[in-house]
Amino acid sequence: MTTLHSASPQRFAPSALTRTLAWLRLCAITGQSSAVLVAALWMGMDVPVLPLMVAIGFHAVFAAFASWRLTQPWPVREWETIGHIAVDTIVLWCLLYFTGGATNPFVTLLLMPIALGAAALTVPALLAVSALTGLAYLMLLVHYVPLPPIMEGPGGFALHVIGMAVNFVITAALLGFFINRLATAVRAQQGEVQRVRERALRDEGILAIATQAAGAAHELNTPLSTMRTLLPELRREHAANTVLAEDLALMQEQVERCRGILREMVAFGKAQLSQEDEQMSLGAFVRGCLERFQLLRPEAELELELDAATADTVLRSPPGMRHALINLLNNAADASAARGSQRVALRVRHQGGWLELRVSDQGPGFAVGRPGSVLGQSQKQGGLGIGLTLAEATAERLNGELTAVNTSEGAEVSIRLPLSAIAAE
């Protein structure tokens, strides 16, 4: 839990920057090649074509390697991102060295790594990138191959101004597009971290409830055992009193039911600790859940929709899946009872690679929730308020989802689970 709470989107930003650099590198190679060919062939400028094309060729080889690297599962570290920036800066330095150094109008492209790094790198890494590009610029002030004589005179100055205009357009377009791309990626990562934090907080609450439930189950076992011992004696003593005997028999039945629930809680806890899933057909799983539900709510009028082909699907049923479905059925029965109805419907469908369990009722439905919330606020009264939360947590743990919608008759809650997570191999 601590790791999730302390996670920061800054850790993921180098990966987004490295992918952005990969796209920018392809654009740079295309632009550099075009510029060299136009200057040498169309404008007739005496530039060292061979060294320039060798540098661009090396850049293309590195671009291919970087693209392959991004397809690998290894995480991209910040030092690796700095290495990519260093290679790009060195190649750009070589191109500028053979084309006039600091007098080249495209020398301001050295600022591009700093601008992109500022959106994704930590302060020490950004200082390292700034030092590298600053050193490259200082070297270009002293060491460079002068531009050809065509750049001297009024015509050369006009050509220099045109180069500066082209450089401005390129810089503005690249900065606008790629910084927006980086910012979008960072915002998406921040949203994911926020969702992970919320899920962690919810799981902590569920864990606290589970701890309290375990303690209560342990404490309830003693009074239930005492009642289980005394009730048969009371029944024998008052066998002549028919009414009292019937009440005592009902109490004994309820005590046995409570003990059965406690035993199921213990068995569920052991299954969770062992991480062993129970294999059974979907039909047997649904029938088992409905039998348990009918014991809990004998007054409910249950309608089941399950075709034979879907019922034969073999599941690796996780322990929490049964409790999630029973919780939804129990909530539906409570909601229907709020409007004087006992009807509850369960529809089980197999669509593509997904299993869908739909539970509908004839209750008052859900109140409007906060924007972006899948589940609104239940209008059912008298509940503990954790049934939907537990079911949603189970669905998310199995890579599924829980949705709730209001219908013309009441409400419908659906659990969608991928068969890859619950189907037997």
Q: CA–CA separation, 124 vs 324, rounded Å?
A: 49
The confidence score (pLDDT) of residue 148 equals 66
**Cβ neighbours of residue 162 under 8 Å, at least 6 residues apart?**
none
Of residues 182 and 28, the one with the higher pLDDT is: 28
**Lowest mean pLDDT segment, chosen from 158-172, 249-263, 267-281, 371-385:** 371-385
pLDDT in tens, 243-277: 888 888 888 888 887 777 777 666 666 655 555 55
Which of 75-84, 172-181, 203-212 shows the highest mean pLDDT?
Answer: 75-84
Q: CA–CA separation, 113 vs 115, rounded Å?
A: 6
Kindly report whether the global pTM for this prediction surpasses the value 0.85. no
**Cβ neighbours of residue 344 under 8 Å, at least 6 residues apart?**
300, 301, 302, 303, 329, 332, 333, 336, 359, 360, 361
Q: What is the 3-state secondary structure (H, E, C) of the chain?
A: CHHHHHCCHHHCHHHHHHHHHHHHHHHHHHHHHHHHHHHHHHCCCCCCHHHHHHHHHHHHHHHHHHHHHHCCCCCCCHHHHHHHHHHHHHHHHHHHHCCCHHHCHHHHHHHHHHHHHHCCCCHHHHHHHHHHHHHHHHHHHHCCCCCCHHHCCHHHHHHHHHHHHHHHHHHHHHHHHHHHHHHHHHHHHHHHHHHHHHHHHHHHHHHHHHHHHHHHHHHHHHHHHHHHHHHHHHHHHCCCCHHHHHHHHHHHHHHHHHHHHHHHHHHHHHHHHHCCCEEEEHHHHHHHHHHHHHHHCCCCEEEEECCHHHHCCEEEECHHHHHHHHHHHHHHHHHHHCCCCCEEEEEEEEECCEEEEEEEECCCCEECCCCCCCCCEECCCCCCCCHHHHHHHHHHHCCCEEEEEECCCCEEEEEEEEHHHHECC
pLDDT in tens, 294-328: 877 888 888 888 888 888 888 776 667 777 888 88
46 pLDDT band (50/70/90 cuts)?
Answer: confident
**Cβ neighbours of residue 340 under 8 Å, at least 6 residues apart?**
none
- Reply yes or no on whether the pLDDT at 222 is more than 80: no
- Reply yes or no on whether the pLDDT at 378 is more than 60: no
- Reply yes or no on whether the pLDDT at 383 is more than 70: no
**Cβ neighbours of residue 285 under 8 Å, at least 6 residues apart?**
315, 317, 321, 322
The confidence score (pLDDT) of residue 317 equals 63
The confidence score (pLDDT) of residue 131 equals 92
Q: CA–CA separation, 306 vs 365, rounded Å?
A: 24
Q: Are 296 and 331 contacting, i.e. CB atoms less than 8 angstroms apart? A: no
- The average confidence (pLDDT) of the chain is 77
Q: CA–CA separation, 294 vs 306, rounded Å?
A: 17
Q: CA–CA separation, 324 vs 289, rounded Å?
A: 10
Q: CA–CA separation, 89 vs 115, rounded Å?
A: 13
